[in-house]
Chain A
Amino acid sequence: NAGVTQTPKFRILKIGQSMTLQCTQDMNHNYMYWYRQDPGMGLKLIYYSVGAGITDKGEVPNGYNVSRSTTEDFPLRLELAAPSQTSVYFCASSYSSQGGSNQPQHFGDGTRLSIL
């Protein structure tokens, strides 16, 4: 059971380059999330999705884009990389049902991204 899989695990980008961080889950979860975590800090929500075709902004969406064409995949796109985007990026997923309890989020192993 793979859970939440993120690729790549590490990446170095030059300022102005673009890239896509991949995230896929095999648990049939409807909710998916992207966070960034700076050293010594908590997790900040970038974008989230409550189902295929639906995305919404979190706390720190500027400089990022997402799409959710399938239940399994939730890629995060950086269009013009900036040094301020150097961080560790975590993808997570969870299942929530209408009127049901909110299930906890399961995290991928993270992508360590450096912008130089």
Chain B
Amino acid sequence: QKEVEQNSGPLSVPEGAIASLNCTYSDRGSQSFFWYRQYSGKSPELIMSIYSNGDKEDGRFTAQLNKASQYVSLLIRDSQPSDSATYLCAVKGNNRLAFGKGNQVVVIP
């Protein structure tokens, strides 16, 4: 089992809709979880961090963490064309981050 899995293929959403991304992780002892956005040809930039079970909202973004089920998700409300990017889930453990391979989101105007 990979440390961090993001299995969904490219996600196409109409402008204004909700984009939902999921991520599962294998290390039950992980305590820190992050979502990064990466535009094509650019470096990853942090958009959300979450450390405890439940929801965390920041603007149009909501991160959800369920440690018992070992998954973390990201919701993007009122999706905009500028949200078109690859979203990387990252989980912290043993001094380093493990990254999923990312989910591409395409927002269709």
Residues of A within 8 A of B (CB): 31, 33, 35, 40-45, 48, 50, 56, 58, 90, 96, 101-102, 104-110
Contacts and interface: CB of A to CB of B under 8 A. Distances in A.
A96 B45 CA distance: 18
B43 A43 contact: no
A48 B99 CA distance: 14
A66 B104 CA distance: 32
A56 B92 CA distance: 16
A104 B49 contact: yes
A102 B31 contact: yes
B53 interface: no
Contacts of B88: 42-43
Nearest to A56: B95
10 contacts: A33-B97, A56-B95, A90-B43, A90-B44, A96-B95, A102-B32, A102-B92, A104-B34, A104-B49, A105-B90
A58 B98 CA distance: 10
B1 to A, nearest CB: 15
Contact of B44 (A44, A48, A107): A107
Nearest to A91: B43
Contacts of B97: 33, 45, 105
Given A56-B95, A102-B32, A41 B101 contact: yes
Given A42-B88, A42-B101, A101-B32, 12 more contacts: A42-B99, A44-B99, A96-B95, A101-B31, A102-B31, A104-B49, A105-B46, A105-B90, A105-B97, A107-B45, A108-B43, A109-B43
Interface in B1-16: 4
Interface string B38-58: 000011111001010000000
Given A42-B102, A43-B99, A50-B95, A101 B43 contact: no
A96 B46 CA distance: 16
A110 B43 CA distance: 6
